[in-house]
Amino acid sequence: MKSRVLNFVEDLRRGAADQYKYVEKALEEAAKKDPKFNIFITLKGEIPENLALSGKLAGVPIAIKDNIVTKDLRTTCASRILENFVPKYSATVVKILEKEGAVIIGKTNMDEFAMGALGTTSAFGPTLNPLDVKLSPGGSSSGSAAAVSSGIVDLALGSDTGGSVRLPAAWTGVFGLKPTYGAVSRFGLISYADSMDQIGPMASTASDLAYLYSIISSFDPLDPTSSGNPWGDKIERIAREEPDYDILRSIKLKVPKELVEHPQADDSIVKEFSRALSKLESEGAEISEISEPSLLKVPQVYYIIAFSEASSNLARFDGVRYGSRVIMPEEVDWDTYYMENRALFGWEVKRRIMLGAFILSKGYYEMYYSMALKARGMIKSKVEQMLSGGGIILTPGSPIPPLPIDYDATDLSRLNAVDAPLMLANLTGLPAITIPVGKRGSIPISIQLIGSLWSEDILLSIAKVTEEIFG
What value does the mean pLDDT take over residues 413-434? Answer: 94
pLDDT classification of 193: cutoffs 50, 70, 90: very high
pLDDT classification of 399: cutoffs 50, 70, 90: very high
Q: What percent of the chain has pLDDT over 90?
A: 87
Residue in 122, 136, 140, 185 annotated catalytic: 140
Question: Is 0.95 topped by the overall pTM?
Answer: yes
How far, in Å, are 284, 326, 441, 463 from residue 247 at the CA level? Answer: 10, 57, 31, 10
Is the model's pLDDT at 95 over the cut of 90?
yes
How does pLDDT run across 319-360, given as a tens digit for each residue?
A: 888 888 888 887 888 888 888 889 999 999 999 999 999 999
Query: Which of the listed CATH numbers 1.20.5.510, 3.30.365.10, 3.40.1160.10, 3.90.1300.10 matches domain 4-242+449-463?
Result: 3.90.1300.10
135 by DSSP, 3-state: which? strand
What value does the mean pLDDT take over residues 84-97? Answer: 97
How does pLDDT run across 256-280, given as a tens digit for each residue?
A: 999 998 888 999 999 999 999 999 9
Tell me whether residue 140 is one of the annotated catalytic residues.
yes
**What residue spans define the domains of the chain?**
4-242+449-463
Contacts of 145 (CB under 8 A, 6+ apart): 137, 138, 156, 158, 165, 168, 169, 171, 172, 174, 176, 202
- Asked if 383 contacts 375 with a C-beta cutoff of 8 angstroms, the reply is no
Residue in 136, 144, 164, 455 annotated catalytic: 164
Closest CA to 138 of 397, 375, 319: 397
> Looking at the DSSP assignment, which residues form a beta bridge with residue 443?
440
Closest CA to 196 of 457, 380, 385: 380
How does pLDDT run across 130-175, given as a tens digit for each residue?
A: 999 999 999 999 999 999 999 999 999 999 999 999 999 999 999 9
How does pLDDT run across 203-242, given as a tens digit for each residue?
A: 999 999 999 999 999 999 999 999 988 999 999 999 999 9
What value does the mean pLDDT take over residues 297-306? Answer: 97
Quote the pLDDT of residue 53.
83
What value does the mean pLDDT take over residues 424-453? Answer: 96
Quote the pLDDT of residue 324.
87
Residue in 44, 56, 65, 95 annotated catalytic: 65
Round the average pLDDT of the chain to a whole number and report it. Answer: 95
Quote the pLDDT of residue 1.
66
Distance from C-alpha of 206 to C-alpha of 177, rounded to nearest angstrom: 10
Contacts of 37 (CB under 8 A, 6+ apart): 127, 128, 129, 130, 133, 146, 150
What value does the mean pLDDT take over residues 88-100? Answer: 98
- Entry field: residues in the chain: 471
- Asked if 161 contacts 427 with a C-beta cutoff of 8 angstroms, the reply is no
